[in-house]
Amino acid sequence: MQQPLNNHILRICLIAAITVFSLMLALPILTLAQTEDAGLHPAQLNASSGVIGFIKMKAWSPYAAGVGIGILSWFAFLFSNHPLGVSTAFAKTSGMLEKSLRGDQVLTRDYYQRFVPSIDWEWMLVVGLFCGALLSALLAGDFALSFLPPLWTERFGTGIWWRWLLAFGGGILIGIGARWANGCTSGHALSGTMQLAVSSWVTACGIFSAGIITALLIF
Amino acid sequence: MLKQMRTNKRLQLLLGFLMGIFFGFFLQKGQVTRYDVLMGQLLLTDFTVVKVILTAILVGMLGIYPLKWYGLVTFHVKEGSLGSSGIGSLIFGIGFALLGYCPGTAVGAVGQGSLDALLGGIPGIMVGAAIYSVIYPIVRDKFQPLGNFGKITLPELFKVGEKKAVLAVSVLIIFVLSVLELVAF
């Protein structure tokens, strides 16, 4: 008797989900069509037209962004049977790059036997992530090429190499740490914690403790 | 229908891409793709990151748990141990404070034009991942088994029902967010 009930709920959920999803999808396209608004200040747009103004805002309330990410993860679980995660895609890209440089011998490593370097859902998620952030910045007139963040310049000055070195070195530690802990801020601190996974709450605490201590030491 | 969707590889690649667009859009709108905002969190002067992430956890949890109770979604709880989650997250945290972005927000930062993320952070993360693929057998055999606690969830750990656990975590998150608002960060 369980089956018909489940199917019924499933159908309603799917219809509702697809409606919401396509609606969300249609909004940016509608915004792109309205080129005549491009010259206006984001704040003015916000005052004049609701949804489009909202999309063109430079920043949302953190709660609005959080609600968006939370709802997005329902769809990721429902349609793709996959939590939102990012760092495996880095490992796969790295594997694919090394394979193209050094040949198939790279793939014999145990790690690549377990996580086969290939283009999958998560890899496409990361490509989309880049496009989404670009879209958001462009629509808000907020896109700007810059190497030194203001807070960095305030503390460490304008040396580009120094910033590059810390970014690269930090990146290496992140790459090792994320795979060591089996997930990063997305896979553990976001998607894992919402499943109430113990490993994810431990990882999230570890990331923020070490991050806060290190940040306070270097600043 | 769901099963067909999930096994259709091309559709999944498209869905991954579309969901990524939303993910990146929300991250950038929430300003958590900015070095200053992320470092502000680690320096405890700006609580935007905690607000975004706790809201996302709350909303996400209140959706995926009911979906699980109706048998519509499967959970993917990762295995953990002090040797993997503990040590790994500490290495990650140090790197996070040096780079000022995490993997997802670094990609988002590139989208808004941050060249330090593009030229420093992202190549660094990939080199780190390559190093890990070499040291993986040692980590797997020597470190990851230490203090293993398996694939468990908080309700299993505290031996309470899932509904009670979801309610308790919701109350806790709302409490923390309210305190943050009251202290006016």
- Across the interface, which of A122, A169, A194 has its CB nearest the CB of B61? A194
Task: Tell me the pLDDT band of A24, cut-offs 50, 70 and 90.
Answer: low
What is the rounded average pLDDT of the residues B31-57?
Answer: 96
Q: Tokens in use for B110? A: 């590139």
Q: Tokens in use for B95? A: 């790197």
Residue B8, min C-alpha distance to chain A (Å) = 10
Would you tell me how many other CB atoms lie within 10 Å of the CB of residue B151?
Answer: 14
Q: What is the pLDDT of residue A33?
A: 44
Q: What is the pLDDT of residue A36?
A: 41
Type of residue numbered A39: G
CA angle centred on B170, ends B164 and B175, rounded to 5°: 125
Q: What is the pLDDT of residue A3?
A: 47
Q: What is the pLDDT of residue B138?
A: 95
What is the rounded average pLDDT of the residues A63-81?
Answer: 96
DSSP class of residue B79 equals P
Q: Residue A217 in contact with residue B41, Cβ under 8 Å?
A: no
Task: Tell me the pLDDT band of B2, cut-offs 50, 70 and 90.
Answer: confident
Mean pLDDT of the residues in chain A: 85
Buried b (16+ CB within 10 A) or exposed e, B114-127: bbbbbbbbbbbbbb
Query: Does B119 reach chain A within 8 Å, measured CB to CB?
Result: yes
Query: Does B24 reach chain A within 8 Å, measured CB to CB?
Result: yes
pTM of the predicted model as reported, rounded to 2 decimal places: 0.87
Q: What is the pLDDT of residue A1?
A: 39
**Taking Cα atoms as reference points, which of A160, A140, A137 lies closest to residue A148?**
A160
**Rounded to whole angstroms, what are the CA distances from A64 to A34, A40, A55, B171?**
24, 23, 12, 19
DSSP class of residue A188 equals T
Report which of residues A6 and B126 the model is more confident about: B126
DSSP-assigned beta bridge partners for residue B114: A146
DSSP-assigned beta bridge partners for residue B101: none
Global ipTM: 0.96
Long-range CB contacts (< 8 A, 24+ apart) of A106-113?
Answer: A109/B133, A109/B134, A109/B136, A110/B136, A110/B137, A110/B140, A111/A179, A111/B132, A111/B133, A111/B136, A112/B133
Task: Tell me the pLDDT band of A38, cut-offs 50, 70 and 90.
Answer: very low
A44: pLDDT strictly greater than 70:
no
How many helices (DSSP H) and strands (DSSP E) are in chain B? Answer: 10, 2
A41: pLDDT strictly greater than 80:
no
What is the rounded average pLDDT of the residues A43-47?
Answer: 46
Q: DSSP labels for A73-106?
A: HHHHHHHHS-----HHHHHHHHHHHHHHHH-GGG
What is the rounded average pLDDT of the residues B20-27?
Answer: 97
pLDDT tens digit sequence for B102-121 = 999 999 999 999 999 999 99
Q: What is the pLDDT of residue A52?
A: 87
Task: Tell me the pLDDT band of A173, cut-offs 50, 70 and 90.
Answer: very high
B148 φ, ψ to 5°? -70, 130
A30: pLDDT strictly greater than 50:
no
> Given CA atoms A30, A36, A42, A45 in this order, what sign does their dihedral have?
negative
Q: DSSP labels for B116-170?
A: HIIIIIHHHHHHHHHHHHHHHHHIIIIITTTTEEES-BHHHHHT--HHHHHHHHH
Identify the closest residue of chain A to B134 by CA–CA distance. A109
What is the rounded average pLDDT of the residues A28-53?
Answer: 52
Residue A172, min C-alpha distance to chain B (Å) = 4
In total, the C-beta contacts within 8 angstroms joining chain A to chain B are: 549
DSSP class of residue B80 equals E
- Across the interface, which of B20, B31, B132 has its CB nearest the CB of A124? B20
- Residues making up chain A, counted from first to last: 219
DSSP-assigned beta bridge partners for residue A218: none
